[in-house]
Amino acid sequence: MPSIPFRRAPPKVELALVGHTDTVPYDPRWSEALRLTEREARLYGRGACDTKAFIAATLAAIETVELKNLRRAVALIFTADEEIGLIGAKRLAEARAIHSRYAIVGEPTSLRPMRAGKGYCLAEVTIKGREAHSAYPALGSSAIFRAAGLLARIQDLGAELQNYQHAAFDPPFTTLNVGLIKGGTAKNVIPGECRFTLEWRPVPGQDPGSLLSLVFAAIEEEKTRYPEFVCDVDAARTDEGFETAPDSKLVTMLEELSGHPSGTVAFGTEAAQLTELGAEAVVLGPGDIRVAHRTGEFVPLAELETCVKILRQAIERLCL
């Protein structure tokens, strides 16, 4: 992948409006997935709320603003590959492509301003054993039994993570999940390999890598118990969360314009990268995250229209 050339002084803007252009895949049996369909004051289609609606609202809002009257710059940032790991936003942050004072990051929040979000971390753990006939256990080493020992330790680490509390979140701590596990080849073969995924969502303020260090320490302990213990950890993602102060001008303004108190989100967003780019960031957009990533995804028309008004007023108040 070619790198974006380094710029000495990134262009300064007052407000960045950020939406991702990619979507998750769709079930081919869903006939409306690629044909936007209006029904009962809702717009249906893949990406309807996550996040085509926010992008449409951004374009509609900017059309109503007299651009020549703007005293401070607005940036429209439409990114790629958010769903597979915030790739576009990470490249912008890495390249220091812009310096923004405030950012509104579009995600379906039912227009509630979200001022903080958890991070997202993912690792794949592979444990190697030695295959043998199950009638002769001494000839082999079970990767599944070794994995079970490590998993029990990881479960305890999950409980330990709850000691670090962040009251703004529900649940108020870093959560941890082992969502996939695969191992062995047959019922009468001592398994030679076992793999599992480890996913955790750190609250802002807690180092996303700290759990990984604890997992490495647990692996070392397992090695002292079982000298043959062989384990490889591939840490694919350690994305931090973000937090903007409740009394930030952007937060209080969006609370007023939306009529909703600010909140927090437990899913990963591009707000962390915008924070890296200097911004006080808030996540806000039309539609409900609970219908995103599902067949039948939709955005309510009324929320889409209200979002246009909120964004127009935000631009006018911050940039005129």
**Smallest distance from the beta carbon of 25 to Zn ion, in angstroms?**
14
Q: How far is the CB of 81 from Zn ion (least distance, A)?
A: 11
Supply the minimum distance, in Å, between the C-beta of residue 105 and Zn ion. Answer: 9
Closest separation in Å from C-beta 149 to Zn ion: 38
Give the whole-angstrom CA distance, residue 164 versus residue 161: 6
The smaller minimum CB distance to Zn ion, of residues 14 and 288, is found at: 288
User: Of 22, 124, 288, 316, which residue is the catalytic one?
Assistant: 22
Catalytic-labelled residue, pool 32, 82, 240, 297: 82
Q: Say which DSSP state 168 is in.
A: T
Q: Is 82 a residue of the active site? A: yes
- Report residue 201 as tokens: 């969502």
Q: Give dist(CA 114, CA 118) in Å, integer.
A: 11
- Choice between 79 and 141, CB closer to Zn ion: 79
The answer, yes or no, to whether the previous bond of 51 is cis (omega within 30 of 0) is yes
| Cβ 95 vs Cβ 6: under 8 Å | yes
Q: Which is nearer to Zn ion, 192 or 285 (CB)?
A: 285
Separation CA 132–CA 188 (nearest Å): 9
Q: What is the DSSP letter of 228?
A: T
Nearer to Zn ion, 50 or 131 (CB): 50
Task: Compute how many other C-beta atoms are within 10 angstroms of the C-beta atom of residue 200.
Answer: 25
Active site annotation includes 22: yes
- Number of residue whose CB is nearest Zn ion: 50
CA distance 119 to 269: 8
Q: Which residues form the interface with Zn ion (CB under 5 A)?
A: 50-51, 107
Longest dimension (CA), the chain: 82
Which residues are identified as catalytic? 22, 82
